[in-house]
Structure 1
Amino acid sequence: MKAYVQRYGHDVISGLEAIFTNKVKSFLTALGIIFGVAAVISMLAIGNGAQQEILDQIKMVGVNNIIVSPTETSINEDADESGSADGVQISTKKFSKGLTLLDAQAIEEILPTVSKVSPVIDFNYSAILNGKSKPVVLEGVTNSYFKLFEIDLSNGDLFTQEQNENGFPVCIIGDNIRKVFFNQEDPIGKNIKCGQTWLKVVGVIERRDFTASASDEMGISSTDNKIFIPAKTMLLRFKNRSLVRADEVEELMSRRNQESGSSGSENLNQLDKIIIQVAETEHLSSTAEVIRRMMLRRHNGLYDFEVTIPELLLKQQQRTKKIFNIVLGVIAGISLIVGGIGIMNIMLASVMERIREIGVRQAIGASRKDIIVQFLSESTIISVSGGIIGIVLGVVLSKTITAIFDISTIVSVFSIIISFGVSVLVGVIFGYIPAKRAAEQDPVNSLRY
């Protein structure tokens, strides 16, 4: 073993000497590998960042959640004589109260596959305290809402059963609300004015990282600028859209007359959405279909609602981005192959330039294996060093993309191992052909060259 190490170690040293003798040529040869490895690592980092963003959004929308939201147009499923094409028509004969608290209660009580349900009512208000004012989103929910979206409190407690059922003026505030109004003090037990109502703070939500590309239609939104109150508190103390007063009817009719021909319409639903969590994943689609049929019956056959499954939509996006990630990796991998071809071309040219050197080594006792090891070690060392430099460049490039373009990138150990392994493999495979050609040179003819 020692003899083998000494013999072939000398061949490797000879390869190193050749590399350092031709530094510029060796560096230019390694450029293909360097950029290839850097491209693989940075492209896979972009793809991994996109996939992680989707996973974070799935966590934010909650596991196995279904969202029922109102739509602007009421559609009658059963076409009659005045119906339009495709068996669907806009109904003007039937009446629906829209999305109400009773719908949420019915879903929770009737469906055995449902584990949690929370109504959601949104209004924009201004929070006021000690001369400070800040626009906020006031959101009426139940305690199930915080469990549905895995929202934790940094301080305080959730609403009590008594506060939920009787509509007490209590609230749970987001982290930004705490910083604006209670930066230097504990907000628990303090009061904050929202609209014309004073609310007692009973809890503070832990700050959450929020991705700007997350869609509120999927139920994803930042909690930092929100004030949460019990749903019944919203209906009793703020606004209940299902209760229409005479002055509101006159105002609405006057506005419609002034804006005739406009496509906009005011939301008259009591709730802005109902969020339902299904106990088992396999019951997700079937439960959504049962909810759709149940809501259709409760709304007199009118499609004035929409049932969506955010998790399935996000998983579909995840599959799409995974395919995109594979395509990026393949495209970047092609550059590694091109780099390997570059190594082979340069090494073949090097063989032609060093025929006399090969003849001298063979004349003083070097075997074909020695010549192969020497030239193979050159190509392998070039590819390995290029791979190491490419790894550093790829990591730096990934961090630069995140800093400049605000695109999430995640450099994985897997991508580093794969790209480096391929670079070494490319050096061995594409270096063997020139090495074999060098070993096959006739020593007599080489010395005459």
Structure 2
Amino acid sequence: MKHIIYLFTRYFHDVIIALEAILANKMKSMLTALGIMFGVAAVISMLAIGKGAQQEVLEQIKLVGVNNIIVSPTETSLSSAESGTTGSGGNVRRYSPGLTLQDAEAIESAIPTVSKVSPVISLNYHAVLEGRSYPVALEGVSATYFELLNVNLVNGSVFSEQQSEGGLPVCVIGDNIKNRFFSTEDPIGKHIKCGDTWLEVIGLIERRDFTASASDEMGISSTDNKIFVPVKTMLLRFNDRARINPEVLESVARGGDGGNNSEASVVTATHQLDKIIVQVEATEHLSATADIVKRMLLRRHSDIYDFEVTVPELLLKQQQKTNDIFNIVLGAIASISLVVGGIGIMNIMLASVWERIREIGTRQAIGASRKDIIVQFLAESTLISVSGGMIGIILGVIMARLINVMADIQTVVSLFSVLVAFGVSATVGIVFGYIPAKRAANQDPVESLRH
């Protein structure tokens, strides 16, 4: 402790002299620190962009659910010419029913690595209550849907097994629906009309921050403007697109009847479901399970590829990896500014040594040691770089905010990036200030006084 106090009192005067020299040459000191300022600002803003991108990906993973596979339909026209199979009656057409509830049940029961499955049926409807009509997205889902996509309820409960299997008229509503129809009362137990069906509200979903890009890239959307009903309620009481399949099958069965043997008639697959969400027990099984799901559905759909299997989490992690590489490159480029700023400090300090050579000689003549001279010039360069770093931190935070507002790019300034920028700026001052300080300390006092 005594040694520390001694060092502080011994060299404190040298630091004061360095500070006075900086204040006496404000413009030169400010210009010297410019490189550090913009270097630190660039590093902070680039790290903020990287952190923002990482946070956005994590939010998207939360929105699409962890370890989820999404099976979505594709519009595929099925014709006799596409089948490539012939028989005694000419071309034999293959038929696919599209995505059905039976597909979802088969995936859940037959694949051991699958933990939960939820079919999804989406329709646009108008909700009506007391003469007020409001457009809503009506979705038929299973009770596990809310757990699969991390959707939390603030009140009430999800569908019970009896409500799901019986197709009862119950629903869980989003926050916007609550605010529109039940702004001053508890919606649980109340009824709301969709089409010709009155639905009892049994649950309320919490309001959820939503990343718009997730909708574009992963096919998901906010729950705030949705009404969720059991999937069998949707099929029984609203719309079951599979009901048209007998007509399509009859059209296929007629084959070339009607004098059109030479032309292949076209049949379009009708999908009962808009999506099947499959949750895998462990991340390492995602790719293998996705492949098994694809092969199973191909067999069930007569080898007709009228669906698409995607693994959002793997896609998002690949996107995060790309973002990380991009941000490392941006950070490295921004760090060059710090090196340039450090070289600028070294050049200015070397020039300052020659400008103040008489001052150095005078200090040495009155008893200053070489360590005193080193501390003085080292403190001067460090103070300049640290001051520039502090101003750069402020500029970096402002730049990150401007990028967020003007370019609509999510940015997050972390304490880590601020500490790194401040530490680097101090290190630059010490490293690039040592050579000028050493040069000043090695001056011959007699020669210095002759100048």
Q: CA deviation at 1:168?
A: 1.1
TM-score, normalising length: structure 1: 0.90
Q: Give the match's secondary structure for 2:177.
A: helix
Q: CA deviation at 1:187?
A: 1.0
Q: RMSD value over aligned CA atoms?
A: 2.3
**Equivalent-residue separation in structure 2 for 1:171 and 1:311 (angstroms):** 29
Gaps of 5+ in 2: 250-266
Q: Give the match's secondary structure for 1:215.
A: helix
How much identity, in percent, do the aligned residues show? Answer: 68
Q: Give the match's secondary structure for 2:371.
A: helix
**Equivalent-residue separation in structure 2 for 1:213 and 1:404 (angstroms):** 17
Q: Does 1:24 align with 2:27?
A: yes
Q: Does 1:72 align with 2:87?
A: no
**Equivalent-residue separation in structure 1 for 2:269 and 2:124 (angstroms):** 14
**Equivalent-residue separation in structure 2 for 1:12 and 1:138 (angstroms):** 71
Q: Give the match's secondary structure for 2:243.
A: coil
Could you give the per-residue CA deviations for residues 156-176 of structure 1, whole angstroms, max 9, x where no partner exists?
Answer: 111121111111111111100
Which residue of 360, 380, 385 corresponds with 1:378?
380
Alpha-carbon contact 1:121-1:270 (below 8 Å) kept:
yes
**Equivalent-residue separation in structure 2 for 1:413 and 1:125 (angstroms):** 47
- The one-letter code sitting in structure 1 at the alignment partner of 2:270 is L
Q: CA deviation at 1:246?
A: 9.8
The ranges of structure 1 where at least 4 consecutive aligned residues each deviate by more than 6 angstroms after the TM superposition are 79-83, 245-249
Count of aligned positions: 425
Which residue of 264, 276, 279 corresponds with 2:278?
276
Q: Does 1:59 align with 2:62?
A: yes
TM-score, normalising length: structure 2: 0.89
Gaps of 5+ in 1: 84-90, 250-264
**Equivalent-residue separation in structure 1 for 2:313 and 2:382 (angstroms):** 47
Corresponding residue for residue 299 of structure 1: 301
Q: Give the match's secondary structure for 2:436.
A: helix
- The one-letter code sitting in structure 2 at the alignment partner of 1:239 is N
Aligned pairs (5 A) from 1:278-357: 278-357=280-359
Alpha-carbon contact 1:67-1:276 (below 8 Å) kept:
yes
Alpha-carbon contact 2:41-2:397 (below 8 Å) kept:
yes
Corresponding residue for residue 207 of structure 2: 207
- The one-letter code sitting in structure 2 at the alignment partner of 1:26 is S
Q: CA deviation at 1:81?
A: 6.5
Q: CA deviation at 1:221?
A: 1.3
Q: Does 1:36 align with 2:39?
A: yes
Alpha-carbon contact 1:121-1:140 (below 8 Å) kept:
yes
Alpha-carbon contact 1:75-1:303 (below 8 Å) kept:
no
- The one-letter code sitting in structure 2 at the alignment partner of 1:235 is L
Q: Give the match's secondary structure for 1:123.
A: strand
Q: Give the match's secondary structure for 2:97.
A: coil
Corresponding residue for residue 255 of structure 2: none
Alpha-carbon contact 2:85-2:93 (below 8 Å) kept:
no
Q: CA deviation at 1:435?
A: 1.2
Q: CA deviation at 1:296?
A: 0.7
Could you give the per-residue CA deviations for residues 249-276 of structure 1, whole angstroms, max 9, x where no partner exists?
Answer: 9xxxxxxxxxxxxxxx987200011110
Change (3 A) 1:92 1:59: farther
Which residue of 4, 7, 11 corresponds with 2:10?
7
Alpha-carbon contact 1:174-1:227 (below 8 Å) kept:
yes
**Equivalent-residue separation in structure 2 for 1:129 and 1:266 (angstroms):** 38
Change (3 A) 1:266 1:157: farther
Corresponding residue for residue 256 of structure 1: none
Q: Does 1:447 align with 2:449?
A: yes
**Equivalent-residue separation in structure 2 for 1:162 and 1:340 (angstroms):** 72
